[in-house]
Amino acid sequence: MGESLHPTAVVDPKALLGAGVRIGAYTIVGPEVALEEGVEVGHHVVLEGRVRVGAGSRIGHGSVVGAPPQDLKWKEGTPSGVRIGRGTTLREYATVHRATRPDGWTSIGDHCLLMSMCHVAHDCRLGEGVIVINYAGITGHCEIDEYATVGGLTGVHPFSRIGAYAYVGGCSKVVADVPPYTTVDGAPALARGINVVGLRRGGIGAADRRLLQAAFRILYRSGLAPRTGVERIRDELPATPYIVRLLQFIEASKRGICGPPRTGAAVPDDAPDSEGERVF
C-alpha cells in the first residue's frame, strides 16, 4: 500500500516515506525526514531537520518535531536530530526539539505517549513506554527510563533523571533525580512511596514489590543519609535485579535524589493492597 499525502501537504522530494505513510493537510516535511511504514502525521505538523520516526507511530495535529533547540549555545547548521521509536504517539501540539551537539539526537523510545501540549527539549532521552502527560515540560539533557510517567503541568530541571517505573505527580517541580520505582510529588518533588500500581501493571511480582518497599523505608524513613541508606539496603536486603538497579541509580546520581516528605507532612497510611502488601 502506497503513502497517502494530502494535496496541501508540502513534502520535500528528498524525504523518505515508508509504505502506508499518511500525511495530513498543510503539514510540512523537510528533506532530512525519514518516516517508516505506517506512520501517521496529522494536519498542520512541522517535521524539520533530521527526524526519524519508527513504524506505526502517530504525530498529532499541530505538533513540531525537530525544531532548533532553545539553547543559546546552539549554532545554526549543527547536524543533529530527533529519533522517535516504533508505535509511539505524540498528541496535538506536542513539541520535540533536536539535539545541540553535532550528530547528537533527542531520543524517544518505542511505545511512548506524549500527550497534547507537552514539550521534550534538546538532548533528552526517553525510554520505552514513557508517558508524559499534558502540558509537562521536559527540559534539556534529561533522561527518563522505561515505563516512567510524568504528570501534567510538571516541570523537570535540566540534566535530571527519572528512573524506570517512577511516577511523578501532576504539577510537580522536579529538581533532583527521581529513583526508579518510586512515586514523587510536590514543589519541590518529594518521595512518597513505591509505585505499586505501576509495578503491578508492569508484571513485577509481589515479592519484588515488597523488597522495594523495604528498601524505600530504609532510604526515606530511617533518618539515614542516602549513602548510608544505600549501604544498609545492601547489607540487609537480597541483591535482586530491582534492588541492584535502585542502588546503582542512586550511587550514579550527580544531582542527588528527591528527598523525603518534610517533618509533619501528611504521609499515606500503611494500608495493605489487594495482595496483602503495604502501600506507602
Give residue-wise pLDDT tens across range 218-257: 999 999 999 999 999 999 999 999 999 999 999 999 999 9
Omega cis (within 30) before 188: yes
Average pLDDT, the chain: 94
Q: Which residue has the cell 499534558?
A: 134
Residue count of the chain, please give it: 280
pLDDT digits (tens, 9 = 90+) for 19-57: 999 999 999 999 999 999 999 999 999 999 999 999 999
pLDDT digits (tens, 9 = 90+) for 63-72: 999 999 999 9
Which of the residues are catalytic? 122-123, 140
Which residue in 181, 120, 106 sits closest to 149, CA to CA? 181
pLDDT digits (tens, 9 = 90+) for 139-166: 999 999 999 999 999 999 999 999 999 9
- How does residue 263 score in pLDDT terms, banded at 50, 70 and 90? low
Whether the CB-CB separation of 36 and 55 falls below 8 Å is answered with: yes
When mean pLDDT is compared across 58-67, 133-142, 269-278, the lowest value belongs to 269-278
- How does residue 188 score in pLDDT terms, banded at 50, 70 and 90? very high
pTM equals 0.93
Residue 88 in this model has a pLDDT that exceeds 70: yes
pLDDT value, residue 261: 85
pLDDT value, residue 106: 98
End-to-end CA distance of the chain: 52
pLDDT value, residue 270: 38
Per the structure block, which three cell numbers stand in for 129?
513506554
Average confidence (pLDDT) over 256-272:
65
- How does residue 2 score in pLDDT terms, banded at 50, 70 and 90? low
Average confidence (pLDDT) over 262-272:
49
Whether the CB-CB separation of 82 and 105 falls below 8 Å is answered with: yes
Q: What percent of the chain has pLDDT over 90?
A: 92
Query: In the sheet where 40-41 sits, what is the strand order?
Result: 4-5, 22-23, 40-41, 58-59, 89-90, 113-114, 131-132, 149-150, 167-168, 182-185, 190-194
Task: Note the Cα 137 to chain centre separation in Å.
Answer: 11
Residue 174 in this model has a pLDDT that exceeds 70: yes
Cα–Cα–Cα angle for 161, 135, 147, rounded to 5 degrees: 40
Mark 92-105 as b/e (b = at least 16 C-beta within 10 Å).
bbbbbbbbbeeebb
- How does residue 269 score in pLDDT terms, banded at 50, 70 and 90? very low
pLDDT value, residue 262: 76
Domains and CATH numbers, the chain: 4-199 (2.160.10.10), 203-279 (1.20.1180.10)
Average confidence (pLDDT) over 168-179:
98
Mark 128-161 as b/e (b = at least 16 C-beta within 10 Å).
bbbbbbbbbbbbbbbbbbbbbbbbbebbbbeebb
